[in-house]
Structure 1
């Protein structure tokens, strides 16, 4: 089977995506697939004829995840054609010649449904959920509205657009970009005096933010594959909260899987994760993030439709807890994704 692992791009989660892509590429290569690792923005400048038979290490120049966000303008300057198009040279041709594209993209223009919609129009098969559910899950404000309809517990919050007046008097609270990921631009605000700086940071990344109730307690994540929840993982940062640095710098966070919860809470959280999967019309796989407060009340924060697949990522750890090693997990994602295309 010919597989393109599509990574990189120009979102704030570019570095995470490249490391996810590298892991997936190496795993599939070890299982005998004909695999290409491709940066969706930089593309491939050479002749694409017979590209799947080229003997080359496509992950050779991929770096590690830095502690801070990548410089997107610097990345844009690398591209020779200076085009603003998300899709770099050769990307469409190479993807069309594959059997499936494994999406290792995170954040804007990868996880928001735009690329999925384009691939649907072009007849290119891809892993993960479709364009509609990608868009629903990416927009946290819409997700929260659907959570309310489906009685899924979530922190109380409001949507605020840039320049819009709003009222909020509950502290501490959380400020985050409505359509962001990897906790980029997320801050915990303890007073009104801190609000302006937090909003300024969030609005630098998007035109709409969410202000929501801060839930003090334990943090968890639950992966779902083909409507079935995986074991729960608990995330306990050594310092601060589960921000960009704590997510991707090894040793920053203690992760326990299966999480130490009583059977009743375990079943309840897994059931809510499966309900979120249904409410957002998700397909193939996703990962839901949760908080558990001091009264053992569960709150769903959001759904991630293309969860990280890095050395420290949560979904691979959850799968391993039930005996699914990383290469088998990648194969399973391909297998379940292909079900979308069965008539």
Structure 2
């Protein structure tokens, strides 16, 4: 198959996306596919060009990224660096190249990549892609909306409220410690644990740097877990234990910063409960292909679902691939499997 592995973009997780895309493309090439890593924002070439044979030299034509920086990207500088200065999210030749592909493997994270906007555009252009449709992606990307859907489905989630920038004057939260985070962000960028009311203002400032709506919610002290779901079926649960602090951007992507245990060391009942919540959340959000649910378990053993990730990290050491490996699905198998379940949206049977 000719496959575009779409990465980059303009979210705070731009660099993480490139890492996922590079690893996915390598795995797909090992399976005999022609996989091209393409930056959705920068595009390919600065002007319209001949893309007839672009997949014949897919590796040479791909974006090359080595490591994930320890700091979030400077999005304003990236926007300013694009040669065509267009306001379009899609860079030069991106749509044309994606239309030539058999399928686009969505390695985008956060921002427009997971919000459903790219998915909706691809639907209009007749482009096939991995992952969920635009509606369920949009719902899951919105943390407060996700919490509302989880509440209705009977999946426990921390008590919280959303707050828009224009309404922050006089805002108070009566439950401390709490956590402040961008409503549609990822990779824990702009996230602050707030111990008391006098710290709230600075935390809001940090979150509002990334977007105009934030979530302020009850902070759950305890153990952190994640559970992937493929076609409605939960994978083994993984536990994430940062060596210092909480699971922030650095601890997610700096080697050796966290201990990840899969299967997580839980009782049978705890494991089954978390998997049940993951599957219920998946269904409640209207997801159909794959996703990953994040959880906290407090010191009393109560479980809370924090959010859903509709395009989870995809390096061999990312959480979803680690969970899949436990059931005998290696990274290359997983990449193939995600393509297969995604093609079902289009009535296509692969493999």
| Native 8 Å contact 2:17 2:313 kept in 1 | yes
- The structure 1 segments of at least 4 consecutive aligned residues displaced by more than 4 Å after TM superposition are none
What's the counterpart of residue 111 of structure 2?
A: 108
What's the counterpart of residue 98 of structure 1?
A: 101
Distance 2:58 2:12 in 1: 31
Change (3 A) 1:158 1:5: same
Distance 1:40 1:129 in 2: 18
| Native 8 Å contact 1:250 1:312 kept in 2 | no
Tell me how far 1:312 sits from its aligned partner. 3.4
What's the counterpart of residue 141 of structure 1?
A: 144
Distance 1:96 1:59 in 2: 17
What's the counterpart of residue 295 of structure 1?
A: 300
Q: Which runs of 5+ in 1 are unaligned?
A: none
Tell me how far 1:60 sits from its aligned partner. 6.3
SS at match of 2:235: strand
SS at match of 2:112: coil
| Native 8 Å contact 2:139 2:145 kept in 1 | yes
Q: Which runs of 5+ in 2 are unaligned?
A: none
Instruction: Give TM-score scaled by structure 1 length.
Output: 0.98
Match of 1:208 among 205, 210, 213: 213
List aligned pairs for 1:29-44, cutoff 5 A: 29-44=29-44
What's the counterpart of residue 127 of structure 1?
A: 130
| Native 8 Å contact 1:9 1:40 kept in 2 | yes
What's the counterpart of residue 203 of structure 2?
A: 198
What's the counterpart of residue 262 of structure 1?
A: 267
1:276 aligns with 2:281: yes
1:176 aligns with 2:167: no
What's the counterpart of residue 258 of structure 2?
A: 253
Distance 2:147 2:227 in 1: 18
SS at match of 2:55: helix
CA RMSD of aligned residues (A): 1.2
Distance 2:215 2:231 in 1: 29
| Native 8 Å contact 1:248 1:312 kept in 2 | no
Distance 2:237 2:251 in 1: 19
| Native 8 Å contact 1:247 1:312 kept in 2 | no
Distance 2:340 2:118 in 1: 20
| Native 8 Å contact 1:16 1:310 kept in 2 | no
Distance 1:255 1:116 in 2: 31
Distance 1:186 1:73 in 2: 20
List aligned pairs for 1:21-32, cutoff 5 A: 21-32=21-32
Distance 1:118 1:88 in 2: 14
What's the counterpart of residue 226 of structure 2?
A: 221
Tell me how far 1:47 sits from its aligned partner. 1.9
Match of 1:51 among 42, 54, 57: 54
Instruction: Give TM-score scaled by structure 2 length.
Output: 0.95
Tell me how far 1:9 sits from its aligned partner. 0.9
Match of 1:185 among 183, 186, 190: 190
What's the counterpart of residue 13 of structure 1?
A: 13
| Native 8 Å contact 2:316 2:331 kept in 1 | no
| Native 8 Å contact 1:229 1:273 kept in 2 | yes
| Native 8 Å contact 2:6 2:37 kept in 1 | yes
SS at match of 1:264: helix
Distance 1:26 1:58 in 2: 13
SS at match of 1:287: strand
SS at match of 2:260: strand
Distance 1:159 1:53 in 2: 48
Distance 1:212 1:77 in 2: 35
SS at match of 1:336: helix
SS at match of 1:163: helix
List aligned pairs for 1:66-85, cutoff 5 A: 66-85=69-88
Residue-by-residue CA offset, 1:192-231 (whole Å, 9 max, x unaligned): 1110000001011111111100111100000000100000
Match of 2:121 among 118, 122, 125: 118
Tell me how far 1:311 sits from its aligned partner. 4.4
